[in-house]
């Protein structure tokens, strides 16, 4: 019995190591190469340098696309929050026919392949007379980001006591007061987490953007284009930078939602 | 005659096609402790929520202090609610929870602090003022919930099974505290519960509800001692319901519609000497020790089993006995 146990243990540990390798080895390699003195991605590395970071900073199209990406991600996230949060509130508050179906449908853009979402939004925007470009990309991103924000906020609202709004109203609060004093403070971490996730999803989004950008380039589109003409090491540098930012964002959003879960558990 | 504070006329509410409250009419007097008692699903909570303003009746009129408040939203009614699971605001401290009603009405800071301090003191919560609700025990949360509801000095305090979540000992203690508080403030209470013992010990008057209608209204003594329906007799305490004919009683003319009688177990007496002049006789089927008294089941010759509370007097199972009862304790009831 003991033998089998330890054998099982070895397999499990091996599986964990494999998973970690598959997930993170390529990422670590990219990060390593960003400091490679040689301009070709190969081992052994010719030495350590920050050169590619300097090249990256001076690569105007690359930095422009980064600014574009951040702009799209920021505005897209804001729109998604401004529509998704009230949407979640409405869905939580009112019962209407088809609510169950809607609960499933809102997250559809996240599950649909980006290509289909991209074509659909392109067709729609063309009908609406919106040309490919910055506005189209922002609207396209907002659309699928709402599908990220709404379910997250909605789930949090459902964890709240249903009567909490009534309690506030009962004590004399208006709808606005109830929202700002009671509802928002209790869902703010979910809203914040959803915003972070939206931001990073938007930042590395390719398929939807690809259909909508026209001549407007975002960072992932730019990188994709650069790799076509041969891989240059500054791509490693910018990827490493983004990776670092994402890691911080993930750790941050995890830590606040953890704190919140403990909190929710104690109050129920 | 005390002043009528709340008047409900023909309140009707249905969810879908099922009526939950059908044509309830009742009055609540100023300063009284009124309990709505009934099994779950009888419409008592819906009635309370209509008074609070969370639910609009489909038909009927609600008056508070002579004013029609039927369509008035909850935040503009001079009534406050203590919810079953307290529903404290988890993001606010005890002090902020208690002061919430004053805060949203933009009460002046100094006045607010003074009144919150008073409440903290009254409810012995001074030491917990800066804690979050999640850091309090059930009993403490309960006190915060009541303090929060009383700070607006409501005309009526609505309590929706506020003690249901507490353990027995704490519940007994809170029953006492609630009653004390009500005497002290003279606030009108409307209390909803399915616990008949709670209703009997705390209330000035009880409205017994069943299936969305009122079965009977009266003081605890009235509804317990003189139930008018089988439901009331059975729901409040234990009762034996017998067909009037079987109990050998001639039905008075004014009770012709009521063909059943209700007799409490404590009003039966068992005699083992086989007297033939007693109307009821049967065989003892069970003897249960309750501490101060025995509960004895007797299967009558009609097949029905009645229960009797009795000092034991050497009664054992399978004994054949006769049962008598106090005539004046017997109540005619309708189905």
Cα gap B84→A149, rounded to integer Å = 32
Burial classification of residue B6, based on how many CB atoms lie within 10 Å of its CB (0-12 exposed, 13-18 middle, 19 or more buried):
buried
Strand order in the sheet with B67-68: B18-29, B4-15, B59-64, B67-68
Using a CB-CB cut-off of 8 Å, the residues of chain B touching A177 are 104
CATH number at residue B279: 2.40.50.140
Cα gap A201→A215, rounded to integer Å = 21
Please tell me the predicted confidence (pLDDT) of residue A102. 79
Q: Kindly report which listed range (B125-134, B202-211, B261-270) carries the lowest average pLDDT score.
A: B261-270
pLDDT in tens, A59-118: 888 888 889 999 999 999 999 999 999 999 988 888 888 888 877 776 666 677 778 888
Number of domains in chain B: 2
B73 neighbors B64 (Cβ within 8 angstroms): no
Please tell me the predicted confidence (pLDDT) of residue B79. 93
How many Å lie between the alpha carbon of A178 and the closest alpha carbon of chain B?
Answer: 9
Whole-Å CA distances, B293 to A145, B319, B322: 70, 18, 19
Same domain as B328, residue B181: no
Report, as an integer, the average pLDDT of B20-40. 93
Please tell me the predicted confidence (pLDDT) of residue A268. 42
Same domain as B285, residue B248: yes
Same domain as B222, residue B163: yes
Where a domain ends, among B230, B259, B286?
Answer: B230
Whole-Å CA distances, B167 to B42, B45, B132, B175: 24, 22, 22, 12
Cα gap B224→B213, rounded to integer Å = 18
Cα gap A223→A206, rounded to integer Å = 10
Does B100 contact A163 at a Cβ distance shorter than 8 Å?
no
Where a domain ends, among B195, B230, B265?
Answer: B230
Please tell me the predicted confidence (pLDDT) of residue A265. 47
pLDDT in tens, B129-169: 999 999 998 889 989 999 999 998 899 999 999 888 788 88
Residue B214 has pLDDT above 90, yes or no: yes
Work out how many CB contacts closer than 8 A connect A with B: 74
Contacts with B, A 170-229, CB within 8 Å: 170-174, 177, 181-182, 185-186
Please state the length of chain B.
335
Does A173 contact B54 at a Cβ distance shorter than 8 Å?
no
Q: Which is it for strands B188-193 and B33-37: parallel, antiparallel or unpaired?
A: parallel
Strand order in the sheet with B320-325: B268-271, B320-325, B280-289, B294-300, B305-310
B200 at A interface, C-beta within 8 A: no
- Kindly report the CA angle at B211 between B209 and B215, in degrees rounded to 5? 35
Where a domain ends, among B176, B206, B230?
Answer: B230
Same domain as B79, residue B203: yes
Residue B10 has pLDDT above 50, yes or no: yes
* DSSP string for residues in A116-174: HHHHHHHHHHHHTTPPTTHHHHHHHHHHHHHHHHHHHHHHHHHHS-TTHHHHHHHTT--
Same domain as B206, residue B186: yes
- Kindly report the CA angle at B154 between B185 and B101, in degrees rounded to 5? 115
A64 at B interface, C-beta within 8 A: no
Same domain as B203, residue B289: no
Report, as an integer, the average pLDDT of B282-307. 88
Same domain as B105, residue B24: yes
Please tell me the predicted confidence (pLDDT) of residue A7. 85
pLDDT-derived band at B87, boundaries 50, 70, 90: very high
Residue B250 has pLDDT above 70, yes or no: no
CATH number at residue B121: 3.40.50.300
Please tell me the predicted confidence (pLDDT) of residue A128. 86
Same domain as B196, residue B54: yes
Same domain as B265, residue B323: yes
In terms of phi and psi (left: phi > 0; alpha: psi -120 to 50; beta: otherwise), the region of B303 is left
Please tell me the predicted confidence (pLDDT) of residue B53. 92
Cα gap B30→A161, rounded to integer Å = 32
Helices of type H across B153-292: 168-185, 196-202, 220-225, 230-235
Please tell me the predicted confidence (pLDDT) of residue B210. 93
Same domain as B177, residue B127: yes
Does B152 contact A171 at a Cβ distance shorter than 8 Å?
yes
Q: Identify the helix (H) or strand (E) that includes residue B120.
A: helix B109-122
Identify the segments of chain A with pLDDT beneath 50: 1, 264-268
How many Å lie between the alpha carbon of A170 and the closest alpha carbon of chain B?
Answer: 5
Evaluate whether ipTM surpasses 0.90: no
Q: Distance from CA of residue B160 to its chain's centroid?
A: 10
Residue B162 domain boundaries: 4-230
Please tell me the predicted confidence (pLDDT) of residue A257. 65
A93 at B interface, C-beta within 8 A: no
Residue of B100, B104, B134 lying closest to A263 (CB–CB):
B134
Is the pTM above the cut of 0.80?
no
Same domain as B266, residue B208: no
Residue B96 has pLDDT above 90, yes or no: yes
* Nearby residues of A147 by Cβ (< 8 Å), 6 or more positions away: A106, A107, A108, A109, A110
Q: In chain B, what are the helix, strand and coil shares in percent, each to the nearest 5?
A: 30, 35, 35
Same domain as B154, residue B56: yes
Q: Enumerate domains of chain A plus CATH numbers.
A: 59-267 (1.10.3720.10)
């Amino acid at each position: 019995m003991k033998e089998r146990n330890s054998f099982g243990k070895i397999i499990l540990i091996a599986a964990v190591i494999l998973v970690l390798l598959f997930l993170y080895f390529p990422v670590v390699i990219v990060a390593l190469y960003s400091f490679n003195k040689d301009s070709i991605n190969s081992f052994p590395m010719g030495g350590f340098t920050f050169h590619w970071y300097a090249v990256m900073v001076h690569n105007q199209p690359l930095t422009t696309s980064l600014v574009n990406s951040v702009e799209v991600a920021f505005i897209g996230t804001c729109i998604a929050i401004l529509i998704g949060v009230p949407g979640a509130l409405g869905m939580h508050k009112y019962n209407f026919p088809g609510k169950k179906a809607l609960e499933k449908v809102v997250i559809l853009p996240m599950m649909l392949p980006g290509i289909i979402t991209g074509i659909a939004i392109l067709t729609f925007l063309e009908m609406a007379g919106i040309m490919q470009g910055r506005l189209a990309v922002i609207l396209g991103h907002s659309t699928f980001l709402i599908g990220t924000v709404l379910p997250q906020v909605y789930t949090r609202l459902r964890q709240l006591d249903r009567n909490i709004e009534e309690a506030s109203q009962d004590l004399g609060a208006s709808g606005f007061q109830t929202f700002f004093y009671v509802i928002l403070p209790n869902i703010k971490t979910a809203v914040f987490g959803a915003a972070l996730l939206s931001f990073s999803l938007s930042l590395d989004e390719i398929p939807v953007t690809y259909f909508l950008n026209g001549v407007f380039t975002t960072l992932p589109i730019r990188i994709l284009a650069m790799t076509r003409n041969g891989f240059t090491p500054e791509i490693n540098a910018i990827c490493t930078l983004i990776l670092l930012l994402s890691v911080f964002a993930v750790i941050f959003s995890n830590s606040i939602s953890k704190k919140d879960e403990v909190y929710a558990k104690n109050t129920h | 005659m005390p002043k009528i504070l709340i008047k409900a006329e023909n309140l009707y509410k249905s969810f879908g096609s099922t009526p939950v409250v059908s044509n309830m009419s009742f009055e609540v007097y100023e300063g009284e402790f009124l309990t709505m008692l009934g099994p779950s699903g009888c419409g008592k909570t819906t009635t309370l929520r209509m008074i609070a303003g969370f639910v609009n009746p489909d038909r009927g009129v609600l008056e508070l202090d002579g004013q029609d408040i039927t369509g008035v939203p909850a935040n503009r009614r001079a009534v406050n609610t203590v919810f079953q699971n307290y529903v404290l605001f988890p993001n606010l401290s005890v002090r902020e929870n208690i002061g919430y009603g004053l805060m949203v009405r933009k009460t002046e800071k100094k006045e607010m602090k003074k009144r919150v301090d008073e409440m903290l003191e009254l409810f012995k919560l001074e030491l917990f003022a800066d804690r979050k609700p999640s850091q309090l025990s059930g009993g403490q949360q309960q006190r915060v919930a009541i303090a929060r509801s009383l700070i607006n000095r409501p005309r009526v305090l609505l309590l929706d099974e506020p003690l249901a979540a507490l353990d027995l000992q704490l519940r007994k203690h809170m029953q006492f505290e609630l009653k004390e508080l009500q005497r002290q403030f003279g606030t009108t209470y409307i209390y909803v519960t399915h616990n008949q013992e709670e209703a009997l010990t705390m209330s000035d008057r009880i409205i017994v509800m069943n299936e969305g209608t009122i079965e009977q209204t009266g003081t605890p003594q009235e509804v317990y001692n003189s139930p008018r329906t089988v439901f009331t007799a059975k729901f409040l305490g234990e009762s034996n319901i017998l067909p009037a004919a079987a109990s050998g009683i001639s039905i008075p003319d004014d009770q012709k519609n009521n063909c059943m009688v209700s007799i409490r177990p404590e009003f039966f007496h068992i005699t083992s000497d086989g007297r033939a002049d007693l109307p009821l006789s049967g065989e003892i089927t069970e003897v249960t020790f309750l501490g101060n008294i025995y509960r004895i089941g007797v299967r009558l010759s009609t097949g029905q089993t009645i229960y009797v509370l009795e000092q034991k007097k050497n009664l054992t199972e399978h004994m054949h006995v006769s049962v008598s009862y106090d005539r004046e304790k017997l109540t005619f009831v309708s189905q």
